[in-house]
Chains A and B, each alone.
Chain A
């Protein structure tokens, strides 16, 4: 392995000093700005760049010995932008990220200044270059670890890994990757920047196949992990051997495999087909020395972050207890609360709509996006979520024709909105009729949600029933207080069957059989389906059962 060595620099620096060209006026300005910007750095690195001391403690490392200062400009800029993670107490200070604090001009100037002062490098770094580096590392969150920086330097030193990259495009629609060698291409060519890209395809709207091939030159014998992201399908072949096949089952699926490869030249091919939806192709290679290198123009880490960068953290109910977990959930209003019951049934209840939002089964919640990012939506896992009656639960209907208004929302369009006239934002306004109170945890931490609707006090609780291969959630809604005239509770807006008034026959949606006790129902058209409403004329207890019609899909074991 090619370790980074800390060369003695005094002699080199002295020699280069003689070679320094007189600075142009423009350069002097840059150096002046660099010097000014460096004032902040000098608090820790010292005005002489040797590292300031607070007593016996060194604040920050000497820049004279720094490989980042001596290397190309990119690593130094990357360090200034993102900072360095503090892994030990060798230095008092942490290298803080300055990407928000400093402009491109300032970073360019301070990079020029540091390289000139402490490594004798005379070239002026342009703000445009900083802008590019900023963009290249934009998606990166968090400071560098020392190991990653070593990899960054190694990557720069290794130079381009791929050479001689060629492409061949085929037209046609295939369900699976065909044997391309038997087909006639419609398009061939070479790719100058040696990055795998679908941009070369002249007709990307149509179904097509593609083969990319080239040479892969490695400096180190090592274990290399390849990651392939291909929609709809793709395969990686190295030295004639199949390494990876991605069959595009999942929107964000990528496949990975690790190969032990010797230093030297290898040949590789990527086979790809697109037959509808979104065309995506990304390939990356990771080793201990180099870290992750993107071989295509579409970074793997960007498209598939949630699957790749952070392993899922799936919460699973244990010991017969429910998990009640507040989180942002996809397609829900912000105050969602997810509940996972033992036995694999889950639901979400929303503090904005004061109602059951969704039901699902086969798994609970992947909280990795939230815990690993900041405030991202958590992902329900298992089967698709069902939403029998999203929105607010109660309404007063003055006449049977009065439409149901499920959300207390408003839309706003913007005056200055010229680029896209339709643009609107939906916002939830606090509904004057509702007041959320909270939830109580009962036996086995099963929650009962509490709220007020006008003069009524409502409790809403759920019980999973899993037996004889059938999945059911039984909901109990108690309504206290004397309802006003014409108060209705919406059971579902997706009924496809016609139950009788007392709902002793199950209401059927495409996925669920719903039964209701405790109130008379009315049914009325709602789009292609029907809306079932329960009339609430007295204090009552509604029992609503949601039973899945189909048997549960077996949970596939983790790959």
Chain B
């Protein structure tokens, strides 16, 4: 909620002022943090692929030369735990004390079964993915969720290199003409391969994917569309975050909030999507990919920050490292910089502000892997792998001196609210805002498109002087806003640490505000029920049908032209639906079904997401099985109808078109007069099966 206006003091009608940076306004990092190099044994290559703090307080690190070493802070010495691993790029301790390590071709569990301090059992946890031998097929992770599932991320291969004579397959020929993409067959042919393969390719499963490995060892493809996802990790709320690297289809370095089934933009990996078929993903029109992909939670403008992103790590208790809890810190390979990401949920999706942190030569570059030790110091493992970077291990310690920093950046309908952790000085910061967007295309990276400075229409400060509101003429979606606060000082004269914010507006607050959250009141007051509707229960934002048939749940308000977003979860063998524009219960229906077990799932026009008995969803629809959530969207705009499932449009039709007339005549609705012509409550159907809905958002069109 916005603060009541009287508490906000309008500062000035804003005029854009260019103020050169001066050293006086910059927070001197050495006042707050000390940087020290941690000596490493000369026997290993000092490129750190994984870093983690063990439950007993020791630090575990793995190195490009294949070792896992343990550092005992009490003794101040290193010992070898394991060796002979291939390009290990991630470490995680298990509750049993074993260590998981991600190698090039498998996830391995290292166990010290005789307690002599060295692993003696190298157990394969997951090798359920392909390896071609291409130099770019790095493997990252694992990250662990609260249920104990593991997540790993797999790079695409690069056409800059070849593959082994025998690859670990199966090999997909889709869209590709040729055998090896190296020059051994003659340069001309090799060049043709490269062209056909695409700059980055996924010829074996599951390159370009995030995989989930259950505690039982089952491997599930989780999300696709990645290019070089060097960072994977969870935040405090249990959200999975993955960073990717600028390149083809990646305009600049993105951060993604990763959820099951989503596609994150690089088409090469689509080859392995269930039901994808023989289509060459590189030939799918960009417009179509646009409708399929899940957008970035954040963009880090190439050049300004992060030419190459690494691990995201959740911040810890603020008394230990000085940063608020609930943020992500993200590493940067090419700049002496870490990035704070302050996320917020807008319109149901995560987005937020990226702020440079520890931007100082003392930090150095190559910042690859991170862990907080038991005392709250941040350990940074460095690498380069022959790209720009560095080597070694660094420890960053906060000296407990309070820092003046930005605590929150909140998107408003017409601007931003920036909240500081201390009151601002009387002298106002000089604000500067610019915005730009990017192309989504096959080219390598994107220039900044439509870059322009934005004049602020108003700047106001809250009465506690801790918040600033920046009001802009408009907020545009899919634009990256760069907000600079020069000369920001706290009341007691402290300079601001991190005075540039990059906020990528995926969804604007206007879009969000336009939707009404039908469950937002915390009760079912916006609904009525058919027969015994009170038996629908609402718990933790989830509305579920009771154990017995209780009749459909219906909105109190009537709609005809509207956009409805909701998530649904069906029980095994279950059937339900969302019925709209109905008369006497008969109208258009978004089918909700367990396709796998329910007989109607066999008929396309009565399968999940179908426009029931009228139009089938596209055959390559992605539908999660019974017991899992699916996101849905219905657009009913005049005569135009669209059904969406899990981020993709699966059908559309115009009422009254030839196609409509033909289908209507064959349907069970034929003969109904003025079918679809009326506004009606929207019905969440009780069809005799357990079903749940959540995040029901609606706006009239």
Chain A residues in contact with chain B, CB under 8 A? 36, 39-40, 43-44, 53-57, 83, 85-86, 89, 92-94, 96-97, 100-101, 141-143, 323-328, 331, 333-335, 337, 351-352, 367, 370-377, 407, 409-410, 412, 414-420, 423-430, 436-442
B180 and A425 contact, CB distance less than 8 A: yes
Chain B hits for A428, CB < 8 A: 166-169
- Contact with A426, one of B128, B165, B444 (Cβ below 8 angstroms): B165
Q: How far is the CB of B302 from chain A (nearest CB, A)?
A: 8
Known pairs A335-B106, A429-B170; A414 contacts B176 (CB<8 A) = yes
State A457–B239 Cα separation when bound (angstroms). Answer: 39
| Distance A335 CA – B127 CA, assembled complex (angstroms) | 9
10 interchain pairs (CB within 8 A)? A53-B21, A94-B365, A96-B388, A142-B386, A326-B105, A334-B132, A373-B386, A410-B169, A412-B171, A419-B178
Question: Could you tell me the distance between the alpha carbons of A479 and B277 in the complex, rounded to whole angstroms?
Answer: 42
Docked-complex contact B105 and A335, CB < 8 angstroms: yes
Q: How far is the CB of B628 from chain A (nearest CB, A)?
A: 26
Q: A92: which of B83, B124, B204, B361 is its contact (CB, 8 Å)?
A: B361
Shortest Cβ distance from residue A140 to the other chain B in the assembled complex, whole angstroms: 11
Instruction: Check B21 against A54 for contact (C-beta < 8 Å).
Output: yes
Q: Which of A56, A351, A419 sits near B127, CB closer than 8 Å?
A: A351
Interface residues of B (CB under 8 A from A): 21-23, 25-26, 45, 64-66, 83-87, 103-106, 108-109, 118-124, 127-128, 131-137, 163-171, 173, 176-180, 185, 189, 192, 196, 204, 246-247, 302-304, 307, 334-336, 359-362, 364-365, 385-388, 390, 444-445, 447-448, 451
Q: By the criterion CB–CB under 8 Å, are A328 and B64 in contact?
A: no
Residues of B near A412 (CB, < 8 A) are 171, 173
Q: How far is the CA of A548 from the CA of B137 in the complex (A)?
A: 38
Which residue in chain B gives the minimum CB-CB distance to A374? B135
- Interchain CA distance A523-B65 in the complex, whole Å: 44
Is B135's CB under 8 angstroms from A373's CB?
yes
| Closest Cβ neighbor of A417 among chain B residues | B177
- Chain A residues with CB below 8 A from B304, complex form: 43
Residues of the A chain whose Cβ atoms lie less than 8 Å from the Cβ of B447: 36, 40
Kindly list the 3 A-B residue pairs having the minimum CB-CB distance in the complex, ordered from nearest: A427-B169, A416-B177, A438-B123
Q: Give how many A-B residue pairs fall within 8 Å (CB-CB).
A: 193
Docked complex Cα distance between A439 and B118 (Å) = 14
| The residue from A36, A101, A372 contacting B445, defined by CB atoms under 8 A apart | A101
Q: How far is the CA of A409 from the CA of B170 in the complex (A)?
A: 9
- In the bound assembly, the distance between CA atoms of A351 and B173 in angstroms comes to 25
Given A86-B388, A412-B173, are A419 and B189 also a contact pair (CB < 8 Å)?
A: yes
Measured CA separation A441–B121 after assembly (Å) = 6
A54 contact set on B, CB distance < 8 A:
21, 26, 359
B124 engages A86 (CB within 8 Å): no
Is there an interface contact between A323 and B105, defined as CB atoms closer than 8 Å?
no
The answer to whether A331 and B192 have CB atoms under 8 Å apart is no
Shortest CB distance B499–A (Å): 11
14 extra interchain contacts, Cβ-Cβ under 8 A, other than A92-B359, A416-B196, A417-B178?
A: A40-B303, A40-B447, A55-B21, A55-B23, A86-B390, A324-B84, A331-B165, A351-B106, A352-B168, A375-B136, A425-B179, A426-B165, A438-B123, A441-B119
Find chain A residues with CB under 8 A from B362 CB. 89
Residues of chain A with a CB closer than 8 A to B192's CB: 419
Check B173–A326 contact: CB distance below 8 A: no
Cβ–Cβ < 8 Å partners of A416 in chain B: 176-178, 196
Bound: A183/B345 CA distance, A: 85
Which residues of chain A are within 8 angstroms of B137 by Cβ–Cβ distance?
375
Check B171–A425 contact: CB distance below 8 A: yes
Cross-chain contact A374 with B21 (CB below 8 angstroms): no
A43 touches B247 (CB 8 A): no
A407 and B165 CA atoms in complex are apart in Å by 14
A217 to chain B, nearest CB (A): 34
B617 → A minimal CB distance (Å): 30
Shortest distance between the CB of B670 and any CB in chain A (Å): 45
A373 to B162 alpha-carbon distance, docked (Å)? 13
Cα(A376)–Cα(B182), bound, Å: 13
Are A374 and B385 CB-contacts (below 8 A) given A53-B21, A351-B106, A425-B171?
yes
Option from A36, A57, A376, A420 in Cβ contact (under 8 Å) with B361: A57
Contact: A100 with B386, CB < 8 Å?
Answer: no
| Known A-B contacts A335-B131, A428-B167; A375 and B66 likewise in contact (beta carbons under 8 Å) | no
A352 to B106, CA, bound (A): 11
Asked if A143 and B168 sit within 8 Å, CB to CB, the answer is no
Least CB distance from A422 to B in Å reads 9
Please, how many angstroms separate the alpha-carbon atoms of A337 and B84 in the complex? 9
Residues of A within 8 A of B185 (CB): 420, 423
A143 contact from B85, B118, B388, Cβ within 8 A? B388
Chain B min CB distance to A557 (Å) = 24
**How distant is A483 from chain B, measured CB to nearest CB, in Å?**
24
Q: State A97–B247 Cα separation when bound (angstroms).
A: 13
Give the distance in Å from the alpha carbon of A106 to the alpha carbon of B348 in the complex.
40
B675 to chain A, nearest CB (A): 47
Distance (whole angstroms) from the CB of A105 to the closest CB of chain B = 12
Partner of A100, one of B135, B163, B247: B247
> Which residues of chain B are near A424, meaning CB under 8 Å?
179
In the complex, the answer to whether A326 meets B84 with C-beta atoms within 8 Å is: yes
From A324, A418, A423, contact of B179 by CB (8 A) = A423
A378 to chain B: closest residue by CB: B86
Chain B residue at minimal CB-CB distance from A89: B361
Query: Which residue on chain A has the smallest CB distance to residue B164?
Result: A334
> Contact: A93 with B204, CB < 8 Å?
no
Most central of B85, B177, B196 by chain A CB within 10 Å:
B177
Tell me if A440 and B121 are in contact (CB < 8 A): yes
Q: How far is the CA of A92 from the CA of B362 in the complex (A)?
A: 10
Q: How far is the CA of A112 from the CA of B373 in the complex (A)?
A: 51
In Å, the complex CA distance between A83 and B384 comes to 14
CB distance from A244 to the nearest CB of B (A): 29
A448–B209 CA distance with the chains assembled, in angstroms:
32
How far apart are the CA atoms of A418 and B188 in the complex, in Å? 13
Q: How far is the CB of A279 from chain B (nearest CB, A)?
A: 17
In the complex, what residues of A have CB within 8 A of residue B196's CB?
Answer: 416
Q: How far, in whole Å, are A328 and B122 apart by their CA atoms in the complex?
A: 18
Q: How far is the CB of B673 from chain A (nearest CB, A)?
A: 53
Roughly how many angstroms separate A55 CA and B28 CA in the complex, as a whole number? 10
Distance to closest chain A CB from B81 (angstroms): 12
- Our pick among A92, A143, A352, A376 for the contact of B336 (Cβ within 8 Å) is A92
Complex CA distance for A141 and B136, rounded to whole angstroms: 14
How far apart are the CA atoms of A371 and B66 in the complex, in Å? Answer: 10
Residue ID in chain B nearest A327 by CB atoms? B86
Task: Report B379 CB to chain A, min CB distance, Å.
Answer: 21
**Residue of A143, A352, A414 contacting most chain B CB atoms (<10 Å):** A414
Nearest to B246 among chain A residues (CB) is A101
Please give, as numbers and ranges, the residues of chain A lying within 8 Å of B64 by CB-CB distance. Answer: 371
Residues of chain A within 8 A (CB-CB) of B334 are 94, 96
Q: How far is the CA of A283 from the CA of B119 in the complex (A)?
A: 49
Q: With A and B bound together, what is the CA distance between A410 and B169 in angstroms? A: 9
Quote the shortest CB–CB distance from B25 to chain A (angstroms).
8
Contact A100 B444 (CB under 8 A): yes
Rounded to whole angstroms, the CA-CA distance of A440 and B108 in the bound complex is: 12
B123 & A426 in contact (Cβ 8 Å cutoff): no
Q: Contacts of B84 on A, CB cut-off 8 Å?
A: 323-326, 337
Rounded to whole angstroms, the CA-CA distance of A246 and B653 in the bound complex is 76
| Most chain A beta-carbon contacts within 10 A, residue among B103, B108, B185, B386 | B386
State whether A414 touches B177 (Cβ < 8 A). yes
Nearest Cβ on chain A to B201's Cβ, whole angstroms: 13
Alpha-carbon distance A420/B167, docked complex (angstroms)? 20
Set B65, B118, B133, B189: member contacting A420, Cβ < 8 A: B189
Q: How near does chain B come to A446, taking the closest CB pair, in angstroms?
A: 11
Please name all residues of chain B whose beta carbon is closer than 8 Å to the beta carbon of A437 when the two chains form the complex: 123-124
CB nearest to B121 among chain A residues:
A440
- Residue ID in chain B nearest A101 by CB atoms: B445
Q: A327 vs B246: C-alpha distance in the bound complex, in angstroms?
A: 29
A472 CB to nearest B CB, Å: 24
| B66:A326 contact, CB within 8 angstroms | yes
A39: B residues at CB distance < 8 A: 448, 451
